Structure formats: C-alpha cells, structure tokens
Amino acid sequence: MSDTGFQRASSLLRRHTQDTTRPGEFTLLGRDWDLMDGVFSPTYTPVTDLFTSWLPFPDGGSFLEIGSGAGVTAVVAAQSGCARVTALDISPAAVENTRRNVVRHKVEDRVRVLESDLFDALPPEDRYDLVYWNSNFAEPPADFVNETDLHHAFFDPGYDAHRRFLKEAPGRLTPEGSLLLGFSSIGNVALLRRLAADAGLEPSMLRSEQRQLDRTVIEFQLWRLAAA
C-alpha cells in the first residue's frame, strides 16, 4: 500500500470539503460545467482532462462510464460521436450533477444517467463498445470505511470495487469492445495487476503522462484490460 497515495487522496478530499471558495461552475475542455457540492471536482487535478482527451470514443458506438462524477467525460463522449452513452455513479449527488450537465449541453437524447453501484442497475442484456472508469484508485489502510458518498470518489477499501469491476466488466463488452481504466501511480499498481490476473485479464498501458502536483510527481495512467 502506498502511504503517499492515501495521504495525497486524503488531502484532495479535504480540499473538496474545506474549500469555501469552490465555485458552482468550472471550465474544462473548452466547455462550461455545473459543479455541485459533494461531487468530485475536475478542477483540482488534471485527471478528468487527461483521460477524457485520451479516450478512443467509438464513433457511432456505445460507451459506458462507471463513476461519471460531474459528467464531463459522458457529455464529451456524446459530443464526440458516441450514439449511446450510459453514465453511472454510486453517489446520488454525482448522478444529479451529471444529469444537469447532460441537459446543459443538450445531449439528453443519447445519454442515460443512472444511480448504480458499478454495473448493478444495468439491464442484464446491455453491452458496450467501450467501458471505462476513472477509478477511486487510492488504497486506504485496512478497516478504513468510506463515510460519505464523496469518499467513494477517492478510496476503495480492500480494492473491493476494483476486484468487482475487473470481474464484471468483460461481460458488459460487445465482441470487439474495449475495457479501459483510468488509474495513477498513487494507486496500488501491483495489486491491480494481481486482481486483473485473477479475472483473466492482461493490463497494458495505453497512455500515461507525468505531472508535478505540489511536491509530488504523479503519473496518470490509462490502462487497457484485455483477455489474457
């Protein structure tokens, strides 16, 4: 487990809850967005910007985003040619925030937003050309509990959600579909590799970029997970 990763995610969570000047709107990727209290902010780290810019959105195809947060990636997917987008989040505030930005950007004809713990709320027959999660990659100490909905944006105790994601996601892909995970060097990459192997998946790095944030260099990583 990386203490640095846990500490860094803890300080990012504190920034979310203690920043009294946090605006209700932000600009990213050339667009304006609503931002609600209690929702992961794409303004404090470059993660949303980088991954959304790197994703190979399937033109005319279907895209499933787990953990849509404020809804930036789901909206950009719809504006980038995806014919059918489903955005899920475990946090009711994130679901509402995604819905607001879907309406703000007038893509409600092709974006469905659902409250869901990973794939639970999906109809059993749903399959997608691209399944993606910018995950809560910080691994907290043993016995840590996510006390609020916002905690889920940062911490995955025991990597239980990652374990389930890796097991269940392949069953949600079309025959040529791709499974991508947005992760970073502050996550537990060794554990991710073990869980992927347990699920019969082989991770390969699609793209990465290092950024210096405060005094820490963090590598943001977009992983492809394909059958081993």
Ligand X SMILES: C[S@@+](CC[C@H](N)C(=O)[O-])C[C@H]1O[C@@H](n2cnc3c(N)ncnc32)[C@H](O)[C@@H]1O
Among candidates 120, 73, 139, which has minimal Cα distance to 101?
73
CA distances for 113 relative to 41, 70, 93, 181, 196, angstroms = 18, 11, 12, 20, 27
Output 68 or 188, the one with its CB closest to ligand X: 68
Residue 66 within binding range of ligand X, rule CB under 6 A: yes
Q: By CB under 6 A, is residue 221 in contact with ligand X?
A: no
**Per-residue contact track with ligand X, 74 to 93, x per CB under 6 A?**
--------------xxxx--
How is residue 204 written in tokens?
A: 């390969």
Q: How far is the CB of 12 from ligand X (least distance, A)?
A: 9
Q: What's the min distance (Å) between Cβ of 67 and ligand X? A: 2
Residue 72 binds ligand X, judged by CB under 6 A: yes
Task: Work out which of 12, 94, 180, 192 binds ligand X, going by CB under 6 A.
Answer: 94
User: Is 48 a binder of ligand X (CB under 6 A)?
Assistant: yes
CB of 150 closer than 8 Å to CB of 91:
yes
Q: Is 162 in the site for ligand X (CB under 6 A)?
A: no
Residue bearing tokens 């487990």: 1
Q: Where are the alpha helices (DSSP H) in the chain?
A: 3-18, 47-54, 72-79, 92-104, 160-168, 189-198
Q: Which is nearer to ligand X, 75 or 173 (CB)?
A: 75
Backbone angles phi, psi at 211, to 5 degrees: -135, 140
117 binds ligand X (CB under 6 A): yes
Instruction: State the residues that interact with ligand X by CB under 6 A.
Output: 40, 42, 48, 66-70, 72-73, 88-91, 94, 116-118, 134, 136, 152-153, 161
